[in-house]
């Protein structure tokens, strides 16, 4: 008979590709974890893992079992959440994923509000790029995402929280009259600095700018808005800065910001969760709190 413990241990090995790391994650000894995984293989009658000197790899059969195991474990966590939902307050463990172009600008205001309103909530924050967060949400590793919409996934539903307009950031030496508004054509006269591949803000900026000269675009190695702002301040180019980030990134006064002419480019910030999650009502309440934190 397959046990949840066996699925949990196998899931940890499948994700980490290493028995030692999986054992550490599950807080058990490596022999104990290995024995449970071997027992799972005997019960199922197939080899799930290819063991090598540098770690382990999933067999073809193991890949399908790993996907199904992840869904089973996510459903088990939802069962626990159903029980917690009977209370009126958000509580227990909650894995919240946030994209890097949002996390530094809203969490400082949001986290104290969550702590005061939901004292029994055990919050775990995960900050990384959109696609990784979506995959981990679908697999049950995370419970809730705060990110830019839309999210296209059949098992995930979303709610819109607020619009976040983009401004054009340039070096103060390029300062223009405050009565002038930026247009996409203005970006063709200078280098456009964007986040590296994988960041959704990069794709949003490119869609708006519709640049004809690809050599104007520089996405080399920048993984944070703070890095882009420093490059802009030193005259290396221009960038699009979300309004959410303006209070923090412009406080040094070494960049000049311009509003865009209508229609202003913007992104939509929202929440995402699994359709099967029983804590949707609580997530909606948390969304209202996030909107209030952003307004601050």
48-70 pLDDT, tens digit each: 999 877 778 899 988 999 988 98
Q: Which two tokens stand for residue 6?
A: 């066996």
Q: Which pLDDT value is given to residue 180? A: 61
CB atoms within 10 A of CB 52: 9
How far apart are alpha carbons 160 and 150 in whole angstroms?
Answer: 9
Q: Could you tell me if 265 and 166 are in contact, meaning their C-beta atoms sit under 8 angstroms apart?
A: yes
Rg (CA), the chain: 23
Instruction: Average pLDDT across each block of 10 residues of the chain; the chain has 296 residues. List them in order.
Output: 90 90 90 92 91 83 89 79 62 92 95 91 94 90 94 93 94 68 68 82 76 54 87 89 94 88 91 90 90 87
Q: Which pLDDT value is given to residue 87? A: 57
Q: Could you tell me if 58 and 66 are in contact, meaning their C-beta atoms sit under 8 angstroms apart?
A: yes
How far apart are alpha carbons 5 and 127 in whole angstroms?
Answer: 28
Q: Could you tell me if 3 and 13 are in contact, meaning their C-beta atoms sit under 8 angstroms apart?
A: no
Q: Among positive and negative, which fits the CA dihedral 73, 79, 84, 85?
A: positive
Going along the chain from its start, the domains and CATH numbers come out as 2-79 (1.10.10.10), 88-159+266-293 (3.40.190.10), 162-264 (3.40.190.10)
Terminal Cα distance for the chain, rounded: 54
- Sequence length of the chain is 296
Q: Which pLDDT value is given to residue 260? A: 87
Q: Which pLDDT value is given to residue 202? A: 81
Pick the closest to residue 163 from 263, 232, 239 (CA basis).
263
How far apart are alpha carbons 224 and 226 in whole angstroms?
Answer: 5
Q: Could you tell me if 229 and 169 are in contact, meaning their C-beta atoms sit under 8 angstroms apart?
A: yes
How far apart are alpha carbons 12 and 38 in whole angstroms?
Answer: 14
What Å distances lie between residue 129 and 27, 99, 113, 219, CA to CA? 27, 6, 25, 15
Widest pairwise Cα distance in the chain = 74
- Per DSSP, helices labelled H in 91-197 are 103-117, 130-138
Q: Which pLDDT value is given to residue 220? A: 58
Q: Which pLDDT value is given to residue 221? A: 63
- Kindly provide the residue ranges of all beta strands, DSSP E only, lying in 115-155, ordered along the sequence: 121-127, 144-149
Q: Which pLDDT value is given to residue 52? A: 77
CB atoms within 10 A of CB 139: 19
Q: Which pLDDT value is given to residue 270? A: 97
Q: What is the value of pTM for the model shown?
A: 0.73
Q: Which pLDDT value is given to residue 213? A: 47
């Amino acid at each position: 008979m397959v046990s949840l413990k066996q699925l949990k241990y196998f899931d940890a090995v499948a994700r980490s590709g290493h028995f030692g790391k999986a054992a550490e994650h599950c807080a058990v000894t490596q022999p104990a974890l290995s024995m449970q995984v071997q027992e799972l293989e005997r019960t199922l009658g197939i080899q799930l893992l290819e063991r090598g000197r540098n770690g382990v790899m999933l067999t073809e059969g193991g890949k399908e079992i790993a996907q199904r195991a992840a869904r089973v474990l996510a459903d088990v966590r939802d069962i626990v959440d159903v029980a917690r939902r009977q209370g009126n307050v958000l509580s227990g463990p909650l894995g919240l994923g946030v994209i890097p172009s949002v996390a530094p600008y809203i969490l400082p205001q949001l986290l104290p509000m969550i702590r005061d309103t939901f004292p029994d909530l055990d919050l775990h924050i995960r900050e990384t790029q959109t696609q990784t967060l979506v995959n981990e949400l679908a697999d049950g590793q995370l419970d809730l995402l705060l990110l830019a919409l839309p999210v296209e996934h059949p098992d995930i539903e979303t709610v819109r929280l607020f619009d976040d307009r983009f401004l054009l950031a340039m070096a103060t030496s390029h300062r223009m009259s405050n009565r002038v508004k930026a247009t996409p054509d203005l970006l063709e006269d200078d280098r456009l600095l964007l986040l590296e591949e994988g960041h959704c803000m990069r794709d949003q900026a490119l869609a708006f700018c519709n640049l004809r000269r690809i050599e104007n675009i520089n996405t080399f190695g920048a993984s944070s808005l703070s890095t882009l702002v420093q490059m802009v301040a030193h005259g290396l180019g221009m960038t699009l800065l979300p309004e959410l980030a303006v209070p923090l990134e412009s406080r040094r006064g070494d960049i000049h910001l311009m509003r865009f002419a209508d229609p202003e480019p913007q992104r939509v910030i929202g929440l995402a969760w699994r359709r099967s999650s029983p804590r949707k009502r609580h997530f909606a309440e948390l969304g209202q709190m996030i909107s209030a934190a952003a307004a601050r």
